[in-house]
């Protein structure tokens, strides 16, 4: 009895390990493959080897040598950072009100922000295109920052209010009773408790802005404000005589690696942020 139980567990363990291995392969192979391609020379890029036979930084040198890519990278970083900062500040204010204050229409408000988060972005592309051309915002940084704020804000409000709900706000009152000024009570007691939630939200919002492709291809037309995801799609047809695979891969690695590092480094917090809307407590 015990013996069969033991054999059963070993077999089951082996099965779990196998499934685990398949998943890890499914999840990791694409990422590793693109990294591998980006380090291959033009001659060996099609050899199908998983590990490059000849390592080269040629592709990276090539993309960083073009203003097209460098400019796109600067645009991506700048636009995503500014949009994140604004969305998080406005979102924090709104979420604070939702978590702390009692006012009519509060429930509806979170529902509405959720509704906006679900809104199909593509619907807004033509009207935004029209408006931005009218206002001279087309193909500028604000032209992308503004729609990013719009779509990041509901996400920020929703995630932040889930976090803020868990903060023991009575501590603020206790600190005030102990003689702290309101500012002190907020900075010393509440801010440290709220910081992880705000930080997590900022990461999620940043990733959203960084990854956007739809607005990036429709609301920009030149290097002036084109972000990396959009620039990447223009790499493909840049020259029909030169195979752009290596450079595309290098560019993809450059935009993917920071996000993956970010996510792996803060994985606990991000998991908390992802599940905050779905899991209670």
CA-based nearest residue to 41, from 249, 269, 263: 249
Nearest C-alpha neighbor of 162 from the set 91, 108, 63, 259 = 91
Smallest distance, other proteins to C-beta of residue 174, A: 19
Nearer to other proteins, 178 or 242 (CB): 242
Part of the chain binding other proteins (CB under 8 A), chosen from 19-27, 53-61, 174-182, 191-199: 19-27
Q: Does 280 bind other proteins (CB under 8 A)?
A: yes
Which stretch of DSSP H or E encloses residue 245? Answer: helix 245-265
- CB-CB contact of 170 with 211 (8 Å): no
Collapsing DSSP states into helix, strand and coil, what is residue 39?
Answer: coil
* Least Cβ distance, residue 35 to other proteins (angstroms): 9
Can residue 60 be called a binding residue for other proteins (CB under 8 A)?
Answer: no
Nearer to other proteins, 126 or 184 (CB): 126
Shortest distance (Å) from residue 183 CB to other proteins: 16
115-134: contacts with other proteins (CB under 8 A):
115-116, 118-131
Residues 224-263, interacting with other proteins (CB under 8 A): 229, 232-233, 245, 248-249, 252-253, 255-256, 259-260, 262-263
How many angstroms separate the CA atoms of 259 and 276, rounded? Answer: 21
221 binds other proteins (CB under 8 A): no
Count of residues interacting with other proteins (CB under 8 A): 93
Contacts of other proteins in 154-213 (CB under 8 A): 154, 157, 161, 165, 207, 210-211, 213
How far apart are the C-alpha atoms of 199 and 265, rounded to whole Å?
Answer: 13
**How long, in residues, is the chain?**
281
Please, which residue, 23 or 57, has the CB nearer to other proteins? 23
Closest CB to other proteins among residues 118, 177: 118
User: Is 167 strand, coil or helix?
Assistant: coil
Asked if 11 interacts with other proteins (CB under 8 A), we say no
Of 33-41, 67-75, 168-176, 178-186, the segment contacting other proteins by CB under 8 A is 33-41
Considering only residues 37 through 56, tell me which ones interact with other proteins, judged by CB under 8 A: 37, 45-46, 48, 50
- Interacting positions 64-93 with other proteins (CB under 8 A): 90-91, 93
User: What separation in angstroms does the CA of 104 have from each of 96, 98, 101, 109?
Assistant: 15, 11, 10, 9
In the complex, least distance from residue 48 CB atom to other proteins, rounded to whole angstroms = 4
Report DSSP letters for 44-101, one per residue: TTTS--SS-SS---HHHHHHHTSHHHHHHHHHHHHHHHHHHHHHHHHHHHHHHHHHH-
The two tokens of residue 176 are 């005030």
User: Residue 215 and residue 199: Cα distance in Å, rounded?
Assistant: 25
């Amino acid at each position: 009895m015990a013996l069969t139980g033991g054999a059963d567990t070993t077999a089951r363990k082996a099965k779990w390990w196998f499934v685990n291995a398949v998943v890890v392969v499914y999840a990791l192979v694409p990422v590793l493959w693109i990294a591998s391609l980006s380090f291959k020379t033009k001659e060996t890029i099609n050899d199908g080897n998983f590990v490059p036979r000849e390592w080269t930084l040629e592709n990276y040198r090539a993309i960083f040598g073009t203003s097209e890519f460098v400019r796109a990278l600067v645009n991506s970083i700048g636009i995503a950072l500014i949009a994140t900062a604004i969305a998080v500040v406005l979102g924090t204010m709104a979420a604070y009100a939702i978590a702390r204050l009692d006012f009519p229409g509060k429930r509806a408000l979170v529902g509405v922000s959720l509704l906006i988060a679900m809104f199909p972005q593509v619907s807004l592309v033509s009207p935004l295109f029209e408006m931005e051309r009218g206002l001279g915002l087309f193909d500028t940084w604000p032209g992308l920052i503004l729609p990013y704020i719009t779509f990041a804000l509901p996400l920020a409000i929703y995630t932040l209010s889930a976090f803020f709900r868990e903060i023991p706000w009575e501590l603020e009152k206790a600190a005030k009773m102990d003689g702290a000024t309101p500012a002190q009570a907020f900075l010393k007691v509440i801010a440290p408790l709220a910081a992880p939630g705000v930080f997590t939200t900022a990461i999620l919002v940043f990733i959203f802005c960084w990854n956007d492709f739809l607005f990036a291809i429709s609301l920009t037309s030149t290097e002036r404000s084109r972000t990396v995801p959009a620039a990447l799609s223009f790499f493909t047809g840049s020259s029909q005589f030169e195979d752009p695979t290596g450079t595309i891969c290098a560019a993809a690695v450059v935009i993917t690696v920071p996000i993956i590092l970010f996510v792996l480094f803060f994985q606990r917090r991000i998991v908390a942020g992802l599940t905050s809307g779905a899991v209670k407590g």
